């Protein structure tokens, strides 16, 4: 890939800001709105915010890790950036679209690149009914919550909740319970990427639940629909020797 204009954006942390200054001194840059490619300096959280900010521009985004985990980032180096961008391999991500209906009947929509999660926010456990493509698959689950994860997000909250890691090319979603009390033996399901998942909150007044799409939260939800949205397709760039597919594969062998 050849890019004529580059924009640099950085998280507020000191090491990200130091990297921003160094790269701007070394390479010509433009504002993100005028760039052919955006170079992100920070961690996965800042990368997610940047992806959301530029979702509809379809500008490729290349991250360099100046945060902690950096699962969605490349290794940070000041030298050779132009060559790395030319060699970078694109990964297309398809986000989830959450449509949450609250206790007043108002609908809220949001996109999630990693996952949509439902979470209790009082001492009482949530009660959820789960349907897939209009068919009830779990009549009642008593739990802290549940989530639907993309393949790209399967190594984030989904993995912490003991959900499966999904290779990017599998075209699957993970449906994962969060601290399920009943049915205690249910560990979740792998669903086709085109599946529509519906959560109904039972006894919502006494057992309130919030729905979260990445970092956008809606309180007091009664119903949440989750479906993959292929009309939006952000592109991440990775060094050939350190791509996201390989990271997801390696993560499955971590002990």
Give 9-64 pLDDT, tens digit per residue. Answer: 999 999 999 999 999 999 999 999 999 999 999 998 899 999 999 988 889 999 99
Is 44 tagged catalytic? Answer: yes
Give 129-163 pLDDT, tens digit per residue. Answer: 999 999 999 999 999 999 999 998 998 899 999 99
Alpha carbon 86 to chain centroid distance?
26
Q: For residue 192, is pLDDT > 70?
A: yes
CB of 180 closer than 8 Å to CB of 141: yes
What is the dotted CATH code of the domain comprising 96-228? Answer: 2.60.200.30
Place of tokens 């639907």: 148
Catalytic: which of 44, 102, 144, 214?
Answer: 44
Using alpha carbons, list the distances in angstroms from residue 1 to 62, 75, 128, 168, 238. Answer: 12, 19, 46, 21, 12
In sequence order, the β-bridge partners of residue 101 are 107, 223
CB of 239 closer than 8 Å to CB of 84: yes
pTM: 0.86
Burial zone of 135 (CB within 10 Å; 0-12 exposed, 13-18 middle, 19+ buried): exposed
Alpha carbon 128 to chain centroid distance?
23
Tokens of 97: 């679209």
Distance CA 2, CA 82 (A): 9
Distance CA 162, CA 35 (A): 39
The two beta strands, 135-143 and 107-112, are unpaired
Distance CA 176, CA 254 (A): 20
Angular region, 49: left φ>0, alpha ψ -120 to 50, beta rest:
alpha
Q: Which fold has domain 6-93+233-251?
A: Rossmann fold (3.40.50)
- Asked if the domains at 6-93+233-251 and 96-228 fall in one CATH topology, the answer is no
If we measure between CA atoms, which residue out of 120, 130, 152, 129 comes closest to residue 228? 152
Give the percent of the chain with pLDDT over 90: 82
The pLDDT assigned to 185 comes to 87
If we measure between CA atoms, which residue out of 145, 108, 152, 106 comes closest to residue 124? 145
Place of tokens 């969605």: 72
Domains of the chain, residue spans = 6-93+233-251, 96-228
């Amino acid at each position: 890939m050849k890019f004529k204009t580059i924009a640099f954006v950085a998280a507020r942390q000191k090491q990200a800001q130091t990297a921003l200054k160094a790269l701007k001194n070394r390479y010509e840059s433009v504002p993100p709105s005028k760039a052919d490619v955006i170079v992100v300096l920070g961690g996965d959280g800042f990368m997610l915010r940047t992806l959301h900010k530029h979702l509809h521009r379809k500008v490729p985004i290349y991250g360099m890790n100046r945060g902690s985990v950096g699962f969605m980032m490349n290794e940070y180096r000041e030298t050779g950036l132009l060559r790395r961008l030319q060699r970078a391999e694109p990964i297309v991500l398809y986000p989830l679209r959450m449509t949450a209906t609250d206790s007043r009947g108002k609908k809220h929509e949001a996109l999630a690149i990693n996952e949509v999660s439902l979470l209790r926010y009082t001492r009482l456990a949530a009660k959820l009914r789960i349907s897939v493509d209009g068919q009830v698959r779990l009549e009642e689950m008593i739990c802290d919550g549940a989530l639907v994860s993309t393949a790209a997000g399967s190594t984030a909250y989904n993995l912490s909740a003991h959900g499966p890691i999904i290779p990017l090319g599998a075209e699957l979603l993970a449906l994962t319970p969060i601290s399920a009390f009943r049915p205690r033996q249910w560990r979740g399901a792998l669903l086709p990427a085109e599946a529509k998942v519906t959560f109904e909150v039972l006894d919502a007044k006494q057992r309130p639940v919030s729905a979260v799409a990445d970092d956008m939260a809606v309180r007091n939800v009664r119903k949440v629909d989750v479906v993959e949205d292929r009309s939006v397709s952000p592109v991440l760039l990775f060094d050939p020797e350190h791509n996201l597919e390989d990271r997801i594969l390696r993560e499955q062998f971590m002990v």
